[in-house]
Chain A
Amino acid sequence: MRFLHLIWCNLKRKKLRTSLTILSILVAFILYGYLSAIRAALVGGISLEGANRLMVRHKVSLILSLPQRYQERMLRNPGVALATHQTWFGGIYQDPKNFFMQTPVVPEEFLDMFPEFLLPPDQKAAWLKTRTGAIVGRKTAERYHFKIGDKIPIQSPIWAKSDGNHTWEFDVVGIFDGKNKNTDTTSLFFRYDYFDEARQMNKGQVGWYTIRVRDPEKAALLARQIDDEFQNSSAETKTETEAAVAQGFAKQIGDIVLITASILGAVFFTILLVTGNTMSQAVRERTGELGVLKAIGFTNLQVLGLVLAESCLISLLGGGLGLALAWALIAKGDPTGNLLPLFHFPASDLRLGLIGVVVLGVFTGIFPAVQAMRLRVADALRRM
C-alpha cells in the first residue's frame, strides 16, 4: 500500500516508545500462549480418536474393580464394536517422584482401540511373542533412556506376585509414538495375561473398560444400555464418553478455564490501557502534522485510517512476534519439569490469538483515531 511508508515512518518517530509498547504486547502474547498450553495440559486432550469411545468403571468408586467376564457380556450388545480393559498398576520406577502410568492390557485389542499410539509392526510382533514384554511411550523412554532390550524393574506397592515379591520386571520390546501433538506418550503398557497369572490378589478383576461404539450418534444411548445391563450385578457400572471423563477430571482440579480466562482478562485490560494511552499521546503530539495532512487534502476518514493502521501495525508486530516466540518456547517443553505431560500450544488457541492481535490493534487505536479524525484543520494548524 502506498501509505505504508508514511505509517512506518510515523512509528519510527519515537523509536524507544514504540519499541517498549511492542515489547509489552509481545510479553502479553507470550503469556497468552503459556496460559493456553497450561489450560490444555490440565483439561486434557480430547482427541479425535476418543470421539467414539466410552469408558466403563465401577459405579461406586474409581478404586473398585470390575470382573473380567463383563467383557463378553458387553460384546453381546450390537452397538459395541470393540471392548478392552486396563487396570491401575500404580508402580514406582526407582523413586516415587518418577511418576508415569503403567497398565496391563491385552495387546492386540489395546492397539486396535487406541490407534493414536503408533507402534511399528515388528515391535508389535515382538510384544505378542514376549509374555513379560512391555512397550514404553517415547517421552518416558527418552527421559529414562529406556531402549529396546532393557529390563525394567518396577515396584508395585499394591500388587504382590505369587512369590510375595513386589518387584515386577518387564522387557522393553517396543517404543511407541503419538499420532497427535496431544497424545500422551508417557505410559508403559505390559501384558495382562502375565499380570493376571503372576499376581496374588484380585485375579480375574480389572480396573476399567474402554468400548468403541459402532455409531457415535448413539453413544449416550449405548452408555445407558451398558449400565442397565450390569445394574443388579455384583459390580454396577458407570459409563461415560471419554470427553466427559476428561472434563470431569479437569473440573475436579478446579475451574481452570475460569482462572486462566481471568488472568488473561486482567492482562489484556492493562495492555489496552497502556497501549491506548501511548497511542493517544502520540496523536496529541502530532496535532499540527495531522492538520497539515488535512490541509493537503487527506479526508477525515483517511486520517482515521492512518492512526488505526499505526496501532494495528504495532499490535501485529508485538502480537505476531509474541505468538511466534510462545510457540517456540512451549515446544521446548513443560516448565514444571514433567508434571504436565501434555504440554503444547493448541492450534485453535493460536488462531484465536491472531484474532486477538487484530482486535487489540483496533481497540487501542480507535479512540485516538476518532480524535484525529475530529481535529479541525484551522485549529490544528494554529496549534503547530
Chain B
Amino acid sequence: MSGPINWLSQIASVTRFGLMGIPQRRGSAAAAVFGIAGVVTVLVGVLSMGAGFKSTLSASGAPDAAIILRSGADAEMSSGLDRESVRIIADAPGLARNADGAICSAELFVIIDLPKRATGTDANVPLRGVERQARYVRDQFKIIQGRAFEPGNNEIMVGAGALRQFAGLDVGKTLRVGRADWLVAGAFTAGGGAAESEVWADASVLQQAYERGDTFQSVYAKLASPAAFDKFKDTLTTDPRLSVKVSRQTDYFADQSTLITKLITTLGYLIAGLMAVGAVFGALNTMYSSVSTRTREIATLRALGFGRAAVIASVMLESLVLALAGGALGAALAYAVFNGHQTSTMNWQSFSQVTFAFQVTPHLLASGILWATLIGMVGGLFPALRAARLPIATALREL
C-alpha cells in the first residue's frame, strides 16, 4: 500500500477502536457531548435574539424609502416638523407618485400604556398618526383583518405584532386611552417590519387628541427610485426654509437598533465565551481520561507498528466526533426552542416596544457548529499529543 493510503487506513483503524470503546466510557462521553451542546444552545439562542431584532428593523425600511426628521433629532421622539415644512417636503423632486399625489406621509408618534399579554404588566406601545399615503410608503402593507381606519374618526388599526403581544387590541373592540375611545377597525402586516409593532390612527385626529396643534414629527416618503435619494436629500437640506435631516429608511432603522443589538451581541458573546472556556476544560478532562484508560491499548497498537501520527489523528478525531455530536444536538435544540419564538422588548432609542421573533439563521447554526468544532479540537489536541508521546514499554506495563 502506498504511503498516504496506509496512513489513512491506520488512522481509520485506530479511530474505529477508539469509537468502539466509547460505550464503556459513556459517562465521560455524555458529559462532553452535553457540555458542548449546552454551549452551542446558549450561544445560538442568545444571538438569535439579536438576529431577530435586527431583521425586524431592517425589514422595516426599503432602499427607495426615506425618512425626514428635524435636523439634530436622532429619533422621532425628539423631532418636530410644522405643517409648512411638511408641505415643502411633499413638493420635493424625486418622490414616487400615485393617483393621489406624492407618496409621502407626515406622521407623529405618542406612547401609550398597554398590558403585555404574556406578563400582564404594562408596556410602552407606539401610537402613530399617519396620513393617507402611509400604507404605500411601506412596502408589503396588507390589511389582514377588518379594514383601514376611516380618516377623521376615532379609529385605529393595529400591527400584527402588536395585536399578538399586547392586550386590548382585538379587532372590533374599543380601546380607551385616557379619555378618548378608539375603535379597532382592523389589523395589518408590513412584511415583518417595525410597523407591525405599532398602532396607527389618523394624524389629524391624533394631533387633536394630544394637543399637538398642527405639528408632526417625521415624514415617511417613497422615492421614485433608490438613485433619486441623493437629489432629494440635497434639495431639502439646502432649502433655507427647512432645517431637516434626511436618511434612507434602511440606514435610519439600522441606526435605531445599534444600541440594543450591541447590548445583546456583547452579552451573548460574553456568556457563550465563558461557557466555551468551561466546555474546553470539560472536553480536555474527558479526552485525557479517555486516553489514560486506553493507555495500554494505544501502546499495544504502537508496538504493533501503528505510527504516532495515526494515534494523534485518531484521538483528535474521536474528540471531534463527540464535539460535533454535541454541536449538532445543541444546534437542533436551539432551533427547536428558539426559532420563531415571538416576543417584544423595549428599544431604548425610541423608548417604545418592538415586537420581533427570534431568528435562528443558517449563519448562526454554522457558527454554533464551528464553535463546537473548535472546542473539540482544543480539547483533543493536548491529550492526543500526550498519547503519542507515551514510551511504549512503560505503557505496556501499566496496570
Q: Does B289 contact A (CB under 8 A)?
A: yes
Q: Does B321 contact A (CB under 8 A)?
A: no
Q: Does A34 contact B (CB under 8 A)?
A: yes
Q: List 10 A-B contacts (CB under 8 A).
A: A20-B281, A20-B285, A24-B282, A60-B112, A156-B78, A157-B79, A251-B123, A253-B345, A267-B38, A336-B262
Query: What 7 A-B pairs are tightest by C-beta distance, nearest first?
Result: A60-B178, A27-B278, A157-B78, A157-B73, A96-B74, A24-B281, A251-B121
Q: Judging by beta carbons under 8 Å apart, are A20 and B288 in contact? A: yes
> Chain A residues with Cβ under 8 A from B112's Cβ?
60-61
Interface size of B as a range: 35 or more
Q: Judging by beta carbons under 8 Å apart, are B270 and A339 in contact? A: no
User: Which of A38, A251, A340 makes the CB contact (< 8 A) with B119?
Assistant: A251
Residue of A nearest to B210 (CB): A64
Binding site for A on B (CB under 8 A): 27-28, 30-32, 34-35, 38, 41-42, 46, 70, 72-74, 77-80, 110-113, 116, 119, 121-124, 177-179, 210, 259, 262-263, 266-267, 270-271, 274-275, 277-278, 281-282, 284-286, 288-289, 343-346, 351, 353
Q: A38-B267, A274-B35, A277-B28 are in contact. Are A63 and B274 (CB under 8 A)?
A: no
A residues 211-249 touching B (CB-CB < 8 Å):
236, 247-249
Q: Judging by beta carbons under 8 Å apart, are B278 and A271 in contact? A: yes
Additional 13 contacts, C-beta under 8 A, given A92-B74, A277-B30: A27-B278, A60-B112, A61-B111, A62-B111, A90-B78, A251-B119, A252-B353, A253-B346, A266-B38, A267-B275, A270-B34, A335-B266, A336-B262
Q: Does A281 contact B (CB under 8 A)?
A: yes
> Chain B residues with Cβ under 8 A from A340's Cβ?
263
Q: Does A16 contact B (CB under 8 A)?
A: yes
* Nearest CB in chain B: distance from A200 CB, A: 11
Residue of A nearest to B346 (CB): A252
Q: Does A23 contact B (CB under 8 A)?
A: yes
CA–CA, A31 and B272, complex, Å: 9
Q: Judging by beta carbons under 8 Å apart, are A166 and B274 in contact? A: no
User: Which of B41, B72, B113, B275 makes the CB contact (< 8 A) with A61?
Assistant: B113
Q: Judging by beta carbons under 8 Å apart, are B288 and A17 in contact? A: yes
* Nearest CB in chain B: distance from A17 CB, A: 6
> Chain A residues with Cβ under 8 A from B267's Cβ?
38, 335-336
* Nearest CB in chain B: distance from A277 CB, A: 4
Of B42, B72, B116, chain A has the most CB atoms within 10 Å of the CB of B72
CA–CA, A337 and B262, complex, Å: 10
> Chain B residues with Cβ under 8 A from A103's Cβ?
none
CA–CA, A4 and B210, complex, Å: 74
> Chain A residues with Cβ under 8 A from B286's Cβ?
274
CA–CA, A340 and B263, complex, Å: 9
* Nearest CB in chain A: distance from B208 CB, A: 14
* Nearest CB in chain B: distance from A53 CB, A: 19
> Chain A residues with Cβ under 8 A from B351's Cβ?
62-63
Q: Judging by beta carbons under 8 Å apart, are B72 and A23 in contact? A: no
Q: Does A261 contact B (CB under 8 A)?
A: no
Q: Judging by beta carbons under 8 Å apart, are A20 and B278 in contact? A: no
* Nearest CB in chain B: distance from A41 CB, A: 10
CA–CA, A90 and B278, complex, Å: 43
Of A30, A34, A269, A278, chain B has the most CB atoms within 10 Å of the CB of A278
* Nearest CB in chain A: distance from B44 CB, A: 12
Q: A34-B271, A60-B112, A61-B112 are in contact. Are A273 and B31 (CB under 8 A)?
A: yes
Q: Judging by beta carbons under 8 Å apart, are A21 and B353 in contact? A: no
* Nearest CB in chain B: distance from A345 CB, A: 14
Q: Does A122 contact B (CB under 8 A)?
A: no
Q: Judging by beta carbons under 8 Å apart, are B278 and A267 in contact? A: yes
Q: Does A52 contact B (CB under 8 A)?
A: no
Q: Does A254 contact B (CB under 8 A)?
A: yes
Contact with B along A5-49 (1 / 0, CB 8 A): 000000000001100110110011011001100100000000000
Q: Does A161 contact B (CB under 8 A)?
A: no
Q: A157-B78, A263-B42 are in contact. Are A336 and B263 (CB under 8 A)?
A: yes
A residues 87-111 touching B (CB-CB < 8 Å):
90, 92, 96
* Nearest CB in chain A: distance from B109 CB, A: 9
Q: A34-B271, A34-B274, A90-B78 are in contact. Are A281 and B121 (CB under 8 A)?
A: no
* Nearest CB in chain A: distance from B244 CB, A: 12
User: Which of B28, B177, B275 makes the CB contact (< 8 A) with A31?
Assistant: B275
> Chain A residues with Cβ under 8 A from B178's Cβ?
59-61, 236
CA–CA, A63 and B110, complex, Å: 7
Q: Judging by beta carbons under 8 Å apart, are A274 and B285 in contact? A: yes
User: Which of A60, A158, A236, A266 makes the CB contact (< 8 A) with B80?
Assistant: A158
Q: Judging by beta carbons under 8 Å apart, are B271 and A31 in contact? A: yes
Of A17, A21, A274, chain B has the most CB atoms within 10 Å of the CB of A274
CA–CA, A59 and B178, complex, Å: 7
> Chain B residues with Cβ under 8 A from A34's Cβ?
270-271, 274
* Nearest CB in chain B: distance from A284 CB, A: 10
CA–CA, A265 and B175, complex, Å: 41
Q: A64-B210, A274-B31, A335-B266 are in contact. Are A27 and B41 (CB under 8 A)?
A: no
CA–CA, A90 and B116, complex, Å: 27
User: Which of B177, B274, B285 makes the CB contact (< 8 A) with A278?
Assistant: B285
* Nearest CB in chain A: distance from B168 CB, A: 14
Q: Judging by beta carbons under 8 Å apart, are B121 and A274 in contact? A: no
Q: A64-B210, A274-B282, A277-B28 are in contact. Are A252 and B271 (CB under 8 A)?
A: no
Q: Does A210 contact B (CB under 8 A)?
A: no
> Chain A residues with Cβ under 8 A from B263's Cβ?
336, 339-340
CA–CA, A263 and B79, complex, Å: 40
> Chain A residues with Cβ under 8 A from B343's Cβ?
254
Q: A270-B282, A273-B30, A274-B282 are in contact. Are A157 and B72 (CB under 8 A)?
A: yes
Residue of B nearest to A19 (CB): B281
> Chain B residues with Cβ under 8 A from A247's Cβ?
121
CA–CA, A353 and B244, complex, Å: 53
> Chain B residues with Cβ under 8 A from A64's Cβ?
110, 210
Q: Does A280 contact B (CB under 8 A)?
A: yes
> Chain A residues with Cβ under 8 A from B288's Cβ?
16-17, 20
> Chain B residues with Cβ under 8 A from A17's Cβ?
285, 288-289
Q: Does A255 contact B (CB under 8 A)?
A: yes
* Nearest CB in chain A: distance from B52 CB, A: 12
A residues 251-294 touching B (CB-CB < 8 Å):
251-255, 263, 266-267, 269-271, 273-274, 277-278, 280-281
> Chain B residues with Cβ under 8 A from A60's Cβ?
112-113, 177-178
Q: Judging by beta carbons under 8 Å apart, are A35 and B110 in contact? A: no
Q: Does A155 contact B (CB under 8 A)?
A: yes
Residue of A nearest to B255 (CB): A96
CA–CA, A156 and B74, complex, Å: 11
CA–CA, A267 and B273, complex, Å: 13
